[in-house]
Structure 1
Amino acid sequence: MIVITTPTGQIGRQVLDLVLDSAEAIRVIARDPSRLSPRVHERVEVVKGSHDDIDVVTKAFAGADSVFWLVPPYPQSKSIQGHILGFVRPVCEAINSQGVKRVIGVSSLGRGFAKNAGQISAIFAMDDLIESTGVFYRSLCMPGFMENMLWQVEPIKRQGMFFYPMSGDRKVPHCATHDIAALAANLLLNHSWSGQDCIPVRGPEDLSFNDMAQIMSEVLERPIRFQQVPGEVYKATLIQHGMTEAWAQGLINMAAAVDRGIYNVDPRTPESTTPTSFRQWCEEVLKPAVLA
């Protein structure tokens, strides 16, 4: 039995799509089952509720061999650590009580190096707690998602610009969520692995925001440029759009940690290099979004 959390989310939805045609029994935890497609309803067992609810998670994990685990973001949270650990404590209890064998979690690059890194630091606390159960665990360790650029479709479209509180010249890895989902799906369908390990997911190349602006210009056939903004200005904009002060400050701390090089500490390897390039992602995802 495979259990998938966040089956309507950006990554969880793609993981579910990739395992749907397998012979495995599949169960999902969904806060709003109406968002699942008729095909999914016909194929999977649905446990309604949130995976920060111990009763929901215990029910979903009964008889489970492998679990895909992701803590959804909640920009209205007053505590980053409180939000993430509020999801992790029930999962750890259910792992133990239900005898789950394997868990695949979504984490971040920089474990062991990131200090005061906002949401990233809280995610590493999640890894530590899950590993403390003794379950076989694979943490998929990501940099920023290419899909994060979709948050800036409007300024790209209207101003030919995108903004972030980070140097335009710092080259860092970026990955597409489809590649994350593909790795997670392969692990869910593979019942031979054991132990605990981190799997870096680095995309095919390191790019700066200035590099990305050049690629976007070529794909969109119009000039696009990157503008670094002060952290406090960016934070104020996030709060203006509904984020709590704590969540916005966490994102500022995370950007500062990335600018200090936490994504660049471990060397790139063939195993950590995933296939989807930023140019391909721009052609397939960003360009249709900008033209819409």
Structure 2
Amino acid sequence: MIVITAPTGDIGTRVTEHILESGKPFRVIARDPSKLPRQVRDSGDIVEGSHSDQETLERAFDGATRLFWLVPSDPTATDAEAAYVGFSAAAAKLLPSSGITHVVSISALGRGWPDDAGHASASIRMDDMLKATGVNYAALACASLMSNVARQADVIRETGAFYYPAPADLKLRHVAPEDIAKVSAGLLLDANWEGFYEVPMIGPEDLTFTTMTSILSEIVGREVNYFEISMADMKAIMLQNGASEGMAVAMIEMLKAKNSGLDQIAERTPADIANSPTSFRTWAEKQFS
């Protein structure tokens, strides 16, 4: 039995689809099961609740051997430590006595980074806590998600503007959610691996925002211009949208680290490209066409 958390999110939805197509028995944990596709509700076991809750996890872990772990976004959490480590504390408590032998987690790049990198550092501390339970643990260490760009889709289409707190000519790494989901599902379905290891999910290319907006211009059929905003403006936007002070600070610390090379820690190998082959153009054509 494979347990899937966050099954209605961008990555979790795709992981669930892969597992469903495989025909393997699965169970999902969902706060609101009505948001699940009918085929998922008809084919899998459903445990209603939050996977931060011990009682919910006890029901979900019963008879299970594999776990897909993804902490949902919660901008209102006290801080990144609470959002990742605190959220996962119940799982860390239950895993040693459960039948789960393999855990696949969505995490971040940055292990060994000398400074605090906000969300990225908290994700890695979560990984360390969960792998210490003795399970076989694979952490998908992800660069920035291409789907973050989609949050500005309406602005891009309507005004031809894209905003981000990074220099226009800075090359950064981005990965498509569908690639992350495919690798996650593969590790869950074929658990012939042991111990702990990180799987860099860094995409096939490094791109500047100038190049990205040029690609977007071709796809949406109008000129798209890039505008760099300050970290202070980014923090203010987050606070205005309901984020807590601690989570806004954590995001800024992560973005600063990314601008300084956090996601470039991993050297891109042929295996990395095979794991995350989707280019930004390919992703954008699906999202914006």
CA distance in 2: counterparts of 1:62 and 1:114, whole angstroms: 40
8 Å contact 1:165–1:252 — kept in the other structure?
A: no
Instruction: Confirm or deny: 8 A CA contact 2:79 2:250 kept in the other structure.
Output: no
Matches for 1:139-288 after TM superposition, within 5 Å: 139-273=139-273, 274-285=276-287, 287-288=288-289
Structure 2 counterpart of 1:12: 12
Q: State the Cα deviation string for residues 55-91 of structure 1 (Å, max 9, x = none).
A: 1112111221110000001011222211212221111
1:30 corresponds in structure 2 to: 30
Shift of 1:156: 1.2
Letter in 2 for 1:268: R
Q: Separation in 2 of the partners of 1:197 and 1:215?
A: 34
TM-score, normalization by structure 2: 0.96
- Identical-residue share of aligned pairs (%): 39
Structure 1 residue 120 displacement after superposition: 0.8
Task: Report the CA distance between 1:152 and its aligned residue.
Answer: 1.2
- The DSSP-based 3-state class of the residue aligned with 1:28 is strand
> TM-score by structure 1 length?
0.95
Q: Aligned partner of 2:229: which letter? A: V
1:267 maps to amino acid: E
Aligned position for 2:128 = 128
Q: Which ranges of structure 1 fall in alignment gaps of 5 or more residues?
A: none
How many pairs align?
287
Q: For residue 92 of structure 1, report the CA deviation from its aligned partner.
A: 1.1
- CA distance, structure 2, for counterparts of residue 157 and residue 15 of structure 1: 29
Aligned Cα root-mean-square deviation (Å): 1.2
Which residue identity lines up with residue 126 of structure 1 in the other structure? M
Q: Which residue of 2 aligns with 1:44?
A: 44
Note the C-alpha offset of 1:114.
5.5
CA gap 1:241/1:41 in 2 versus in 1, 3 angstroms? same
Cα distance, 1:127 vs structure 2: 0.8
Contact 1:114 1:262 in 2 (8 A): no
- Distance in 2, matches of 1:223 and 1:66, equals 47
| Aligned-partner Cα distance in 1 for 2:37–2:217 | 36
Residues 41-80 of structure 1: pairs in structure 2 closer than 5 A: 41-80=41-80
Q: In 2, distance between residues paired with 1:116 and 1:80?
A: 11
- 114 and 70 in structure 1: CA distance in 2 versus 1, 3 angstrom threshold: farther
**Equivalent-residue separation in structure 2 for 1:6 and 1:37 (angstroms):** 13
Runs of 4+ in 1 over 3 A off after TM superposition: none
Does the CA-based 8 Å contact 1:231-1:252 persist in structure 2?
A: yes
1:219-244: per-residue Cα shift (whole Å, max 9, x none)?
12211121111111121122112222
What's 2:137 paired with?
137
Could you list the runs of 5+ residues in structure 2 that have no partner in the other structure? none
Aligned to 2:21: 21
Aligned residue for 1:105, secondary structure, equals: strand
| Rounded Cα–Cα distance in structure 2 between residues aligned with 1:215 and 1:81 | 37
The question of 1:105 aligning with 2:96 is answered no
